[in-house]
Amino acid sequence: MPFREVIKNFELVRSRIRDFYIYGFKRDGSDVRIAGKSKRSDSDERYRIESWLGDYLKYHVDDSGKSYFLSIDSRNGEHNPLFRVWKTSSFTDGDIVMHFFLMDILLGCEEISFRDLVDELSDYLDCDESTIRKKLKEYEQEGIVNKTLKGKTAYYSRGFWELDRVQEVTGSEKFEDILDYYSEVAPVGVIGSFIMDKIPEKDESNFSFKHHFINQTVDSDVLLTLFDCINNKKAAVVKRYRHKFGDTNELELIPLRLYCSSSTGRQYMMCMNTGSRKIEPLRIDYVLSVKPGDICDRYDEYKETLNRIQNSIWGISVGNMKETRHVTFTVEYSDKETYILQRLSREKRSGTVTVIDDNHARFDADVYDPVELFPWIRTFICRITSVDFGDDNITKRFVDDIRAMEAMYE
Amino acid sequence: MSNLFSELYSSYYNAVAAILRQASTKGSVSAKEINDLTMKYAFRESIMEIPAALSDGTWNLLEDGESKLMHAPTMPLTTLQVRWLKSILSDPRIDLFLEDDNLKDLLGDVEPLWKREDIRVYDCFANGDYYEDANYRSNWRSILRAINEKRAVNVYFISNKNKEHHMYVMPERLEYSEKNDKFRLLGVTSRGNVIINVSNIVRVELLPEEFVITGADTFVRRMREVVVSIPLDDVSNTLERIMLNFAHYEKEAVVEGDKCLLTIRYDLPDETEVLIGILSFGSRVKVEAPVDFVKLVKERISRQIEVADFFP
């Protein structure tokens, strides 16, 4: 079978994009493979990705051959290139021909009966009534076709939301700027990109983005299903990868709120695990599949539980959800380094900052998982005068690691 | 739930729509135009499929370059697209764009895909821009208008030393950082690049179209590289964490023996941010090059050992 750049199943490419091209490597047990050093069977996927994202695909050569990796600088002011991956769905010759004629016929009339529609379509393409009926039903579900019944006769018309109407109400330039910006920053931004594609001649972006993470783009369908569960107060039946155990498991969770990191781009759905009766972060990029489950009668109660403990969660870990630990550290700064005090105040997510004197300030917080503060406190290395994580072992781990850093550079 | 991975959104459909649009508008479309539009709207290998399918009648939509459709092709918005638009209307920054409620009124009864309360960005800074401020909005809109109209602006702003200055700027882009929750104006002046926080801008004057800033070129970024190593047997999964942490930078990973060498390219003004970002990984990540960057790290660690009361 010849190579085709369009695909039927998105799941096949999702993990491939992430493992080899976003991270630039694939971890397989203890074996780490750098992008592109893959088996022959992987080559079709690589050719496809080259075809979609060739401008961003780079490689280096060493003794074992060529290694490909995807290198994207998100500050360049270009639209997220990974959106292209969502625009690769395959279709039949009949699908594309019927699509354009169907939309064209409906544009030329207020409404049309099924019989007349079949007659008109038959002038251009050869297909049976059941195929047309199936396509109309599909388009009705997508919202681009309306069906009304007059007696026993079905009439069809174009969907209610014509793009030019929305553009006109908003103002063309404004509407394009809105899409330009929100397709990059809003969840499931690829949908904004789909709208932008229907506006001819819109190329250059007026925006660029710093601290911008595009990797979650490939998880957009997972996120959509989880949002659907939240909207309908439903459980989600999730199959996920478990990094700790290197395996997969399937379970039912109640999705409550999406937690996003602006520092790493990671997304977690905070869920209630009704089995363990604990709030549990579900890492979105580890979800292999998800489908809506049953309506959850205690949904509001679980949401309230999350609201109640929210201030004690530094990142996404809730520990045992019973006891918090008091974390405190002190930093020193010179008279010219008062921006350190500003950093503490703006970067703290909870807790308090107390000015001790002109050159010292202290941070205090009560959190479920003190280890989650390690990375942030380390950013103050060179000025931490004291630190206590409310647990001697955890404090020792932090201090020992600074000693290890010292030894590493000796 | 509608299907996100659908041919309705595919680049192939978009390319064919562009070709048919061109044929409708101009009366016909040439083979070269078909190739050009395919290259523009679809993928690298699409040139092998789309022009052939249109010319040999497999996709019976063109005849001798003329569209068989009665109209230029358009498609209504899908339910998914309308619900997405409704969702973004709950974002506080939307009022920077919208000066009236027309779009909000139009989408009144549409059910959003998500609500604002469904999302929490847990680590963004607390001193983000104040989007409700009327003067901020006015300045922000003037900058965006200037970018759209490719016009220069006279920007009055408060400097780091708390003094008011003004500058003639050719704005290129508005840069947004979710982490800082701030917009910055990126532009060029007669002296080179300029980056100004929109929140520090007091007033923006839109200059006439004919106003030219002599010597203003395009925004040029000054880049540097740092090389770090991460052990491959690392149990705490540092390799993956650092790849994610620096995912927004241009980077390259190479395996060398029992470690991964990661080269990160960054803008020179962001050096401190990259430095503390690397320090946040502790002893799992070592800076290998360049020498001056290694020196910066060593100095910070040495000073840390000196100032702390927790080292014997």
Which residue range forms the structural domain that includes residue A255? 216-312
Q: Which chain A residue shows the shortest CA-CA distance from B53?
A: A93
Choice between A23 and A315, residue whose per-residue pLDDT is larger: A315
- Using DSSP's 3-state secondary structure scheme, residue A154 falls into strand
- The reply to whether residue B303 touches residue A213, judged by beta carbons under 8 angstroms, is no
Residue B111 lies in a domain: yes
Residues in A closer than 8 angstroms to B171, CB to CB, are none
**pLDDT surpassing 60 at residue A279:** yes
Calculate how close chain B gets to A404, using CA atoms only, in Å: 6
Quick one: which of A223, A203, A236, A207 has its CA closest to A86?
A223
Domain count for chain B: 4
Query: At a CB cut-off of 8 Å and minimum separation 6, what does A9 contact?
Result: none
Q: Are residues A187 and A257 in the same domain?
A: no
The verdict on a CB contact (< 8 Å) between A86 and B5 is: yes
Indicate the number of domains in chain A.
5
Average pLDDT, chain A: 89
Residue A28 is predicted with a pLDDT of 43
**Average pLDDT rounded to a whole number, residues A293-308:** 97
Q: Find the radius of gyration of the CA atoms of chain B.
A: 26
CB contact under 8 A, A100 and B17: yes
Which chain A residues touch B45 with a CB distance below 8 Å?
3, 5, 51
B145 within some domain: yes
CB contacts, 8 Å: B140 with chain A? none
Do residue A270 and residue A350 come from a single domain?
Answer: no
Q: Is the model's pLDDT at A33 over the cut of 60?
A: no
pLDDT digit string, tens, across residues B7-19: 999 999 999 999 9
Chain B environment of A6 (Cβ under 8 Å): 10, 12
Which residues of chain B make contact with A302, given a CB cutoff of 8 A? none
Q: For A51, which of B43, B74, B307 is closest by C-beta distance?
A: B43
Q: Are residues A150 and A198 in the same domain?
A: no
Do the Cβ atoms of B108 and B167 come closer than 8 Å? no
Provide the mean pLDDT of chain B: 93
Q: Is B218 on the interface with A (CB under 8 A)?
A: no
User: Which residues, numbered 172 to 211 in chain B, qualify as contacts with chain A under a Cβ-Cβ cut-off of 8 Å?
Assistant: 172-180, 184, 186
- Given this model, what pLDDT does residue A20 score? 64
Same domain? For A226 and A298 the reply is: yes
State whether B308 and A84 contact (CB < 8 Å). no
What pLDDT is stored for residue A30 in this prediction? 42
Q: Which of B6, B12, B252 sits opposite A6 (nearest CB)?
A: B12
Q: Residue B186 sits in a domain of what CATH number? A: 2.30.30
Residue B55 lies in a domain: yes
Taking CA atoms, what residue in B is nearest to A396? B310
Q: Please tell me the distance from the alpha carbon of residue B203 to that of residue B140, in angstroms, as a whole number.
A: 10
User: Helix (H, G, I), strand (E, B), or coil: what is residue A80?
Assistant: coil
Please state, in angstroms and rounded to a whole number, the distance separating the CA atoms of residues B118 and A191: 18
Q: Comparing A302 with B260, which gets the higher pLDDT? A: A302
Cβ <8 Å between A93 and B59: yes
Residues of A in contact with B303 (CB under 8 A): 382-383
Q: Does B114 lie in the same domain as B145? A: no
Q: Determine, yes or no, domain membership for A377.
A: yes
Instruction: Tell me the two tokens of residue A196.
Output: 């932008």
The whole domain housing B108 covers 80-118
**How long is chain A?**
410
**Domain annotation covers residue A5:** no
Instruction: Give the domain CATH number at A277.
Output: 2.30.30
DSSP label at residue A7: B
- pLDDT of B45 > 60? The answer is yes
Chain B hits for A406, CB-CB cut-off 8 Å, are: 301-302, 305
Whether residue B144 sits in one domain with residue B190: yes
Backbone φ and ψ of A347, nearest 5°? -95, -15
Tell me, yes or no, whether B27 and B88 share the same domain.
no
Regarding whether A201 and A113 lie in a shared domain, the answer is no
Token match 């009144």: residue? Answer: B108
Shortest distance, CA B40 to any CA of chain A (angstroms)? 10
Q: What is the mean pLDDT of residues A166-171?
A: 95
Q: How far is CA B218 from the centre of its chain?
A: 18
- Closest-CA distance, B303 to chain A, in angstroms, reads 5
A67-76, A286-295, B268-277: which has the minimum mean pLDDT? A67-76
For residue A318, tell me if it sits in a domain.
no
Length of chain B counted residue by residue: 312
Q: Is residue A231 part of a domain?
A: yes
Out of A163, A266, A382, whose CB is closest to B77? Answer: A163
Check CB contact under 8 Å for B43 and A84: yes
Residue at which a domain ends, from A212, A228, A252: A212
Residues B192, B246: one domain? no
Backbone region of residue A229 per phi and psi (left: phi > 0; alpha: psi in -120 to 50; beta: other values) = alpha
pTM, entire model: 0.93
Sequence-ordered alpha helix ranges (H) in A233-355: 299-309, 339-347
- Tell me the average pLDDT across A396-400: 96
The predicted pLDDT at position A350 comes to 93
Determine phi and psi for B236, rounding to 5 degrees: -90, 15
Nearest beta carbon to residue B247 from set A22, A158, A162: A22
Long-range contact list for A344-350, CB < 8 A, 24+ apart? A345/B126, A345/B127, A346/B125, A346/B126, A346/B127, A347/A376, A347/B125, A347/B126, A348/B126, A349/A314, A349/B122, A349/B123, A350/A311, A350/A312, A350/A314
Residue B29, min C-alpha distance to chain A (Å): 16
**B residues 75-94 lying closer than 8 A (beta carbon) to A:** 75-82, 84-85, 87-88, 91, 93-94
Rounded Cα distance between A252 and A237, Å, is 5
Confidence (pLDDT) at A49: 83
B111 inside 8 A of chain A by CB: yes
Helix ranges restricted to H, A124-260 = 129-142, 163-170, 172-185, 190-197, 220-231
Q: Is residue B265 part of a domain?
A: yes
* B260, pLDDT greater than 90: no
- Within a domain: B142: yes
Q: Given this model, what pLDDT does residue B310 score?
A: 76
Of A71, A257, A384, the CB nearest to B250: A71
Instruction: Please determine, for residue A19, whether its predicted confidence score (pLDDT) is greater than 80.
Output: no
Q: Taking CB atoms and an 8 Å limit, are A5 and B45 in contact across chains? A: yes
- Cis bond before residue A81 (omega within 30° of 0): no
Tell me if A387 sits within 8 A of A329, measured CB to CB: yes
A58-72, A133-147, B119-133, B275-289: which has the minimum mean pLDDT? A58-72
- Would residue A2 count as lying in a domain? no
Give a yes or no: residue A76 inside a domain. no
The answer to whether residue B123 neighbours chain A at the CB level (below 8 Å) is yes
pLDDT of residue A4: 79
Classify residue B280 as left (phi > 0), alpha (psi -120 to 50) or beta: alpha
CATH of the domain at B254: 3.30.70.240
**A52 and A137 fall within a common domain:** no
CB contact under 8 Å between A383 and B307, yes or no, is: yes
Does residue B271 lie in a domain region? yes
- The reply to whether B218 falls in a domain is no
Residues A308-326: pLDDT tens digits? 999 999 999 998 888 999 9
pLDDT digits (tens, 9 = 90+) for B27-43: 999 999 999 999 999 99
Question: In the Cβ-directed half-sphere of A261, how many Cα atoms lie within 13 Å?
Answer: 21
Percent of chain B with pLDDT over 70: 98
pLDDT score of A87: 96
Nearest to A220 by CA among A193, A257, A244, A254: A193
Beta-carbon pairs below 8 A across chains A and B? 406
- Residue A230 scores a pLDDT above 80: yes
Q: Are residues A208 and A223 in the same domain?
A: no
Least confident range from A34-38, A142-146, A360-364, B205-209: namely A34-38
**Contact call for A230 and B118, based on CB within 8 A:** yes
In this structure, are A195 and A271 located in the same domain?
Answer: no
Q: What is the distance in angstroms between the Cα of A140 and the nearest Cα belonging to chain B? A: 9
Final residue of a domain: which of B118, B144, B179?
B118
Residues 139-158 of B with CB under 8 A from A: 144, 147-148
B296 has a pLDDT exceeding 60: yes
Which member of B78, B80, B253 has the closest CB to residue A69?
A: B253
Residues B297 and B238 in one domain: yes
Do A191 and B12 make contact, defined as CB atoms within 8 angstroms? no
> Do B275 and B228 belong together in one domain?
yes
Interface test with A, best of B22, B63, B118 (most A CBs within 10 A): B118
- What's the pLDDT tens digit per position in B192-244? 889 999 999 999 999 999 998 887 777 788 899 999 998 877 656 788 888 88
Contact (CB<8Å) B249/A73: yes
Residues A125 and A51 in one domain: no
Residue A330 and residue A378 in one domain: yes
Residue of A nearest to B100 (CA): A170
